[in-house]
Amino acid sequence: MKSKLLVMILAGTMAFTTLTGCGSGTQTAGESSAGAEVQTNKAEAGTEEVSASGEAIRIVNGKIEIDEPLKAFAKAYQEKTGQEVVIESLGGGVDINGTLKGYLAAGNMPDIFVFGGEGDYQTWKEYMTDLSGEEWASQTDFGFKSEDGKVVGFPYAVEGYGITYNKNVLEAAGIDPASLVTYDAYKNAFETIDSKKEELGLTAVCSVAAESGQMYWSTGNHLFGYYLSAGLERGDDKYIDMLKEGSIDNDRLGQFADFIGMLFDYSDQSTLVSGTYDDQLALWAQGKTAFITQGNWIDPSLPDYNVEFDCGIAPLAFSKEEISGVLADCPSWWSVYNNGKNTDACKAFLNELATSEEGQKCLVIDCGMISPYETCTVTPTTPLAVSLKTYVDAGNTYSWGWTKMPEGIAMNSTGAVFELYAKDEIDKDTFVAMMGTAIADYVK
Amino acid sequence: MEQNVRRVISILFVLFGVFSVIYALYLDIFDKDAGGRGILLIGGIFIIILGTYLLPSKKHTTIINVLFLLPLLAAFAITVIIPFICGIFYSFTNWNGIKFTEFVGLANYIEMFSSPDYLYSLLITFIFTILNMLSVNLAAFALALLCTSKVRGRNFYRAAFFLPNLIGGIVLGYVWQFIFNKVFTSFIAGSLSMLTDPNLALAAILIVSTWQYAGYIMMIYVTGLQGVPKDIIEASGVDGASGFKSLIKIKVPMIANTFTVCIFLTLVNSFKQFDLNFAITNGAPSRILGMKAIASTEFLALNIYNTAIAKNQYAQGQTKAVVFFIILAIVSLTQVSIGKKKEVEL
């Protein structure tokens, strides 16, 4: 009898502890699984007297490189308004969509989350809040709009790319960067520089990487983006719509292929077929090539290579006709989760980030990005951002139409065709034909 | 009399517990925003356990045994059985990682087998599996013979050969990628990296995979070889068998079960190869088949990953994973049953 009693007591205690464990678990699940980072923020907040406007808002940011400035801004914001903001940055190879899907399934969805364009929008559209009425929404063209014209994505940066050049080399070779707006101008420039390679200290004219396993995003997305959007008004989705139906404009793609072929011919061959992003960047940043097919995101890496030359971005002008602008757009947007408890606090925070001077400073100076807002008065300081800003200010940019391509097409399909072209295994006509079949197969 | 009262009480307990569990699940599945459903669920489970414990019956000991097995069974169900069933279920829907809107029947399976990249991936995985199984086992067995011979410093060799296995696959992959791209190309000046040719890239993955895995398999062979009784070897020596003959006629048959284990391990591991594949080539270089460009070294696991993550087609990826499991199960069960027949009982 005594042992029975003991068993009962033990079982009872066990049940009790389990139940209490569960009880507190359900209440704090939101915070506890967000990771250690959040915990420390909470601890800090505890000493500072919060609770002015309720619970903390949590942001999942997809650009790990701006984690620190954002956190600093969030802290300043908390001191100013009493609203606690927790920044959780994902990046460095983390599958952001997968992580967010996990958060959603676990009932741990952040109040503001990042999404990367059309494909992600389709996945997440039911969870987004309409932000059209916000102050910042009228100050930018870069907000992500839903099918019915509502602004659902908060833009926080503009990125742009084209053919980035080493200005010193171009000057020494007697080429005016501003003239690089047609195929012929590039042909002329490549030939001139190639003939003076030795005196300019170059090993090749261009630094391009087209290996399909790791550089598909550069070729299949970025370079191909010029075929899709160059020369078109923002909102003109002519070539995207064709692509979604599985067809291509043979003539335009032919011109594009001519240019890409020339670009590949004047590139460092080893980097072209087997180089990684780092190899490609190192080659250019060490002054061994005049051009690189990357954009203003390489700004933060320039000090690593002690870059002293001046540089800028020129359009990838593949056509005989003039293409004077570069492709510039938001790489990703922030969206406010519509089932969050704090949508008003989120909106207030986004407004502050977009319109206040501290917010602009955080985005432009500390994060080294270009503000998508017309009202932004802070000017960037890094060379490529400065160069890109001249295009943005002049309204001389084209959209990143490639973000509307079917998801994964560059990685699983078109990137491979670029690689074959780079390795000279196919000629221009085959390239055009294979791109056609690759796209048609992918969208069917 | 007392028996009956206890029986009634315990049955009431069980019923009450079952009801509370069902109600908690109902609240959860239909998304009713009611607090305390966790407590209800766990509490219900405990009351069921209590009820069955109190139930007067001749099979009391059996009930207790089952109750003690419950934590293990629950863990196994939650981490293996339930996800597996969910996975099969999702493969018949258009699940996108968040939710599904309709059942598509066998459409995912049909689409999968009609896409050339998947079929190519299947083929290249089989080729890789066979080649890798051979190369790993040959290398490992040779190393094991070296490490059990009387060569000087064999303990050092043993540790050294095992070392690559301790480095993570992704790190190893990137290191070797650098070696293939930079080191080899500068040894043979002007040559292009191995990773730019479809066949050589497959060979490159084979080399790294063998280098990484042979040490581990070697350890198993070493253990097997050390288990061969010395007296039999000596007896064969007395009878005039050469070293090679005693290896073929005595050692190999004696360690047949070790071969079964090693071949099974390498077979399964090669088939599931992901990290090296991902880090070294990530599917590149491309190969022309017909008029299509196809990623020449994209093995099945990577193909599944790319389908689910890059293409955001979770249901399709899940379908491929189900088929992947079935193939893996068939291949390894066949291999084990064949291997078992060849084993010698001591």
What ipTM score was computed for the predicted complex, to two decimals? Answer: 0.82
Phi, psi of A232 (to 5 degrees): -100, 150
Q: Rounded to a whole number, what is the distance in Å from the CA of A373 to chain B's nearest CA?
A: 31
Does one domain contain both B40 and B147?
A: no
Helices B154-162 and B198-226 cross at an angle (nearest 10°) of 140
Residue B145 has pLDDT above 50, yes or no: yes
Contact at CB, B295 and A412, closer than 8 angstroms: yes
Angle, CA A289 vertex, CA A287 and CA A295 arms, to 5°: 90
DSSP symbols for A361-392: HIIIIIS--B---TT------SHHHHHHHHHH
DSSP symbols for B274-315: -HHHHHHTTT-SEEEETTEEEETT--HHHHHHIIIIIS--HH
Contact at CB, B284 and A212, closer than 8 angstroms: yes
Of B282, B293, B310, the CB nearest to A407: B310
The structural domains of chain A, ordered by start, are: 49-156+331-387 (3.40.190.10), 160-329+406-443 (3.40.190.10)
Phi, psi of A423 (to 5 degrees): -85, 5
Residues of chain B neighbouring A212 (CB-CB closer than 8 A): 283-286, 295
CB B14 within 8 A of CB B52: yes
Element (DSSP H or E) covering residue A60: strand A57-61
Higher pLDDT, A41 or B203: B203
Contact at CB, B310 and A18, closer than 8 angstroms: no
Q: Nearest to residue A343, comparing CAs of A113, A45, A141?
A: A113
CB A396 within 8 A of CB A315: no
CB B256 within 8 A of CB B344: yes
3-state SS assignment for residue A150: coil
Answer whether residue B287 is part of any domain. Answer: yes
Answer whether residue B240 is part of any domain. Answer: yes
Higher pLDDT, B53 or A315: A315
Mark which of B80, B104, B128 sits at the end of a domain.
Answer: B104
Of A18, A104, A434, the CB nearest to B42: A18
Q: Nearest to residue B228, comparing CAs of B200, B250, B205?
A: B250
Tell me how far apart the alpha carbons of residues A200 and A287 are, in angstroms, rounded to a whole number. Answer: 9
Q: What is the pTM of this model?
A: 0.84
Q: Does B283 touch chain A if contact means CB atoms closer than 8 Å? A: yes
CATH number at residue B168: 1.10.3720.10
Which residues constitute the domain of residue B250?
111-341
Lowest mean pLDDT: which of A13-27, A337-351, B269-283? A13-27
Higher pLDDT, B136 or A36: B136
Q: How big is the A-B interface in CB pairs under 8 Å?
A: 113
User: What's the pLDDT band for B244 if we cut at 50, 70, 90?
Assistant: confident
Q: Rounded to a whole number, what is the distance in Å from the CA of A58 to chain B's nearest CA?
A: 20
Higher pLDDT, B33 or B108: B108
Q: Position of tokens 């100076």?
A: A365
Residue B13 has pLDDT above 60, yes or no: yes
Lowest mean pLDDT: which of A63-72, A90-99, A224-233, B7-16? A90-99
Residue B292 has pLDDT above 90, yes or no: no
Answer whether residue B82 is part of any domain. Answer: yes
What total number of domains does chain B contain? 2
Q: Does B67 touch chain A if contact means CB atoms closer than 8 Å? A: no
Higher pLDDT, A20 or A332: A332
Q: Nearest to residue A443, comparing CAs of A398, A400, A401, A413?
A: A413
Answer whether residue B47 is part of any domain. Answer: yes
pLDDT score for A51: 40
Does one domain contain both B21 and B54?
A: yes
Q: Rounded to a whole number, what is the distance in Å from the CA of B184 to chain A's nearest CA?
A: 12
How high is the mean pLDDT of chain B? 89
Phi, psi of A39 (to 5 degrees): -60, -45
Q: Residues A326-339, buried b or exposed e (16+ Cβ, 10 A)?
A: bbbbbbbbbbbbee
Q: Does B242 touch chain A if contact means CB atoms closer than 8 Å? A: no
Mark which of B55, B76, B104 sits at the end of a domain.
Answer: B104
Residues of chain B neighbouring A423 (CB-CB closer than 8 A): 196, 285
Mutate to test the interface with B, among A14, A126, A203, A273 (most CBs of B within 10 A): A273
3-state SS assignment for residue A161: strand
Q: Position of tokens 């209440």?
A: A27
Does one domain contain both B135 and B212?
A: yes
pLDDT score for A116: 86
Mutate to test the interface with A, among B98, B182, B187 (most CBs of A within 10 A): B98
Answer whether residue B25 is part of any domain. Answer: yes
Q: Position of tokens 């757009």?
A: A329
pLDDT score for A50: 39
Answer whether residue B320 is part of any domain. Answer: yes
Contact at CB, B185 and A270, closer than 8 angstroms: yes
Tell me the HSE value of B136 on the side-chain side, using a 13 A CA sphere.
32
User: Which CA distances in Å does B159 have to B68, B154, B156, B170, B188?
Assistant: 42, 9, 5, 22, 31
Does one domain contain both B312 and B185?
A: yes
Tell me how far apart the alpha carbons of residues A123 and A126 are, in angstroms, rounded to a whole number. Answer: 8
Q: Nearest to residue A430, comparing CAs of B284, B296, B285, B292?
A: B292
- Number of helices (H), then strands (E), belonging to chain A: the values are 20, 13
Q: Does B236 touch chain A if contact means CB atoms closer than 8 Å? A: no
What end-to-end distance do the CA atoms of chain B give, in Å? 60
Residues of chain B neighbouring A274 (CB-CB closer than 8 A): 181, 185, 192-193, 195-196
Does one domain contain both B235 and B281?
A: yes
Tell me how far apart the alpha carbons of residues A187 and B305 are, in angstroms, rounded to a whole number. Answer: 41
Q: Does B94 touch chain A if contact means CB atoms closer than 8 Å? A: no
Residue A39 has pLDDT above 50, yes or no: no
Tell me how far apart the alpha carbons of residues B297 and B208 are, in angstroms, rounded to a whole number. Answer: 14
Residues of chain B neighbouring A438 (CB-CB closer than 8 A): 292-293
Mutate to test the interface with A, among B37, B199, B312 (most CBs of A within 10 A): B312
Residue of A nearest to B190 (CA): A270
Mutate to test the interface with A, among B21, B40, B311, B313 (most CBs of A within 10 A): B311
Q: Does B309 touch chain A if contact means CB atoms closer than 8 Å? A: yes
Phi, psi of A90 (to 5 degrees): -115, 150
Answer whether residue B346 is part of any domain. Answer: no
Residue A20 has pLDDT above 60, yes or no: no
Residues of chain B neighbouring A415 (CB-CB closer than 8 A): 286
Does one domain contain both B141 and B202?
A: yes
* A237-249 pLDDT tens trace: 899 999 999 999 9
Amino acid identity for residue B96 in this structure: N
Q: Rounded to a whole number, what is the distance in Å from the CA of B293 to chain A's nearest CA?
A: 6
Tell me the HSE value of A329 on the side-chain side, using a 13 A CA sphere.
24
Helix intervals (H) in B77-106:
82-90
Q: Residues B296-319, buried b or exposed e (16+ Cβ, 10 A)?
A: bbbbbbbbbbbbbbbbbbbbbbbb
Does one domain contain both B10 and B86?
A: yes
Tell me the HSE value of B247 on the side-chain side, using a 13 A CA sphere.
10
Residue B98 has pLDDT above 80, yes or no: yes
What percent of chain A lies above the pLDDT cut of 70? Answer: 87
- Note the Cα B242 to chain centre separation in Å: 40
Does one domain contain both B144 and B264?
A: yes
Contact at CB, B46 and A408, closer than 8 angstroms: no
Tell me how far apart the alpha carbons of residues B216 and B198 are, in angstroms, rounded to a whole number. Answer: 28
User: Which CA distances in Å does B146 have to B139, B218, B219?
Assistant: 11, 10, 12
Average pLDDT over residues A322-341: 91
Tell me how far apart the alpha carbons of residues A158 and A142 are, in angstroms, rounded to a whole number. Answer: 8
3-state SS assignment for residue A154: strand
Residue A359 has pLDDT above 50, yes or no: yes
How high is the mean pLDDT of chain A? 86
pLDDT score for B1: 61
Measured torsion, CA atoms of residues A431, A436, A439, A441, in degrees rounded to the nearest 10:
-110
Residue of B nearest to A4 (CA): B54
Does one domain contain both B217 and B133?
A: yes
pLDDT score for B303: 94
Does one domain contain both B117 and B99?
A: no
Contact at CB, A123 and B98, closer than 8 angstroms: yes
CB A252 within 8 A of CB A430: no
* A267-319 pLDDT tens trace: 999 999 999 999 999 999 999 999 999 999 898 889 889 999 999 999 999 99
Q: Does B26 touch chain A if contact means CB atoms closer than 8 Å? A: no
Measured over the CA atoms of residue B46, residue B51, residue B52 and residue B54, the dihedral's sign is positive
Does one domain contain both B286 and B188?
A: yes
* B212-233 pLDDT tens trace: 999 999 999 999 999 999 898 8
Average pLDDT over residues A34-63: 55
Mark which of B104, B119, B145 sits at the end of a domain.
Answer: B104
Of B285, B292, B310, the CB nearest to A411: B310
Does one domain contain both B221 and B82?
A: no
Angle, CA A379 vertex, CA A378 and CA A381 arms, to 5°: 130
Answer whether residue B28 is part of any domain. Answer: yes
Residue A57 has pLDDT above 50, yes or no: yes
Q: Which residues contact A137 (CB under 8 A, 6 or more apart)?
A: A131, A143, A151
